[in-house]
Amino acid sequence: MKIKPEQLSRTLTSQDLPLYWLSGDEPLLMIEAADLIRNQYRENGYTEREIFNVDKSFDWGQFLQSTGNLSLFAEKKIIEVRLSSAKLEDAGKKAIQHYLSDLNPDYLLLLSGPKLDAATLKTKWFTEIEKHGAFMQIWPINRENLAPWLKQRLLREGIQADAEAVHLLVDKVEGNLLAAMQEIEKLKLLASGSSENTLQLDAKTVMQVVADSSRYNVYQLIDAALLGDVARAQKMLVGLKNEGVFSLIILAAVCRELRTLLPMLEKKREGQGVNAIIQSARVWFNRKQAVATALARLDAQSVWKLLDHSRLIDQSIKGLSKANPWDELSLLLLHLSGANSGPPSNQHHSSRANTIRS
């Protein structure tokens, strides 16, 4: 069965399941969910623990041998299988199916790994596995939900933060919840040294104590631009550059998004509603707002101009133009974010490119 993260505690206390599968790309939330499961089963007498780290060279025979051995003392055991890839090889599928065909009541199988795609969730082998336990997808916390999440975590540690402090903290730790918890631990030390029961946290303290540990990925960058958040998109671009992300990877992702928008914009021109368009395009629920905002702001002509600009950026990345790729990417994202009235005309780009080459 599929469960949501907020249902995990209730499921653990109400049902004795032989299998849990955690799927997601947010390390902190994955760790906390796994800890919750382990603690609950330890309280139920599962005192042993065995861990299998699965990569391409892993021998699933080890897993079968371990799970097939019957303990003379019938000690309960947690068996953890940590997958390095969302794609499970045939040997792994067969090994897990074999294990589930003859369940040992003294074992808990805890699987964890990267986010599974929608196609995998519909396969026969996965639905069979899902029948035996609980499958939980763990989504990253987006910017809109990060502020209340941080505020709750701070309160848990006896820290009362004002709105400006929380907003500043969001800017400094967005995309890096592990760093967020480290910074909260630092602030907790301040709270423990305070004479008051609750530390009042303001923006000045955040500026003095909290390091900028924000981390972004290309998809978050694109969504920020689609939402029209100019400053955030530019900050993300600088962050990705500083992390050493190749500019062509960013450009390719932007172009792919622009091409995805074109058929949706054509349907909008034909009079279809934005919600219906997004539904038929099967946009992920956590991206619906970004795509809807872009559809309301853009038209097909502006997207084609952005794609034409992208072609010139591709040339600069490949050394066919002396233009600075990162400056051009910044300009492209400004236009995609709606900062200007529209993308520069083709004539402007052509003359600029010719001037640079000369």
- The crossing angle, in degrees rounded to 10, of helices 60-68 and 90-101 is 10
pLDDT at 351: 37
91 shares a domain with 186: no
Residue 189 and residue 153 in contact, taking contact as beta carbons nearer than 8 Å: no
pLDDT at 120: 86
Residue 358 falls within a domain, yes or no? no
Among 209, 240, 258, the domain-final residue is: 209
Q: How many domains does the chain have?
A: 3
Residue 21 falls within a domain, yes or no? yes
184 shares a domain with 129: no
200 shares a domain with 246: no
106 shares a domain with 169: no
pLDDT at 192: 58
132 shares a domain with 11: yes
Q: What is the CATH number of the domain that holds 119?
A: 3.40.50.300
pLDDT at 74: 59
223 shares a domain with 127: no
Predicted structure pTM score:
0.62
Residue 196 falls within a domain, yes or no? yes
pLDDT at 354: 38
Spatial distance between the Cα atoms of 274 and 283, rounded to a whole number of angstroms = 12
Residue 271 falls within a domain, yes or no? yes
170 shares a domain with 125: no
Among 138, 162, 193, the domain-final residue is: 138
Residue 357 falls within a domain, yes or no? no
156 shares a domain with 96: no
Phi-psi region of 244 (alpha: psi -120 to 50; beta: other; left: phi over 0): left
Q: What is the CATH number of the domain that holds 341?
A: 1.20.272.10
pLDDT at 233: 92
124 shares a domain with 20: yes
Residue 354 falls within a domain, yes or no? no
Among 116, 138, 160, the domain-final residue is: 138
pLDDT at 8: 92
Spatial distance between the Cα atoms of 355 and 349, rounded to a whole number of angstroms = 10
Phi, psi for 281 (deg, rounded to 5):
-85, -5
114 shares a domain with 18: yes
129 shares a domain with 159: no
Instruction: Look at residues 286, 218, 312, 208 and name the one whose alpha carbon lies nearest to residue 257.
Output: 218
pLDDT at 326: 94
| Residue 241: both structure tokens together | 């550059």
**Which residue range(s) make up the domain with 258?**
218-347
pLDDT averaged per 10 residues in sequence order, the chain, 358 residues = 90 89 90 93 89 90 81 75 88 88 87 88 85 89 88 88 88 84 81 63 80 78 93 90 90 93 93 90 84 93 94 91 92 90 45 36
**In the chain, count of helices (H) and strands (E)?**
18, 8
25 shares a domain with 6: yes
Residue 224 falls within a domain, yes or no? yes
pLDDT at 293: 94
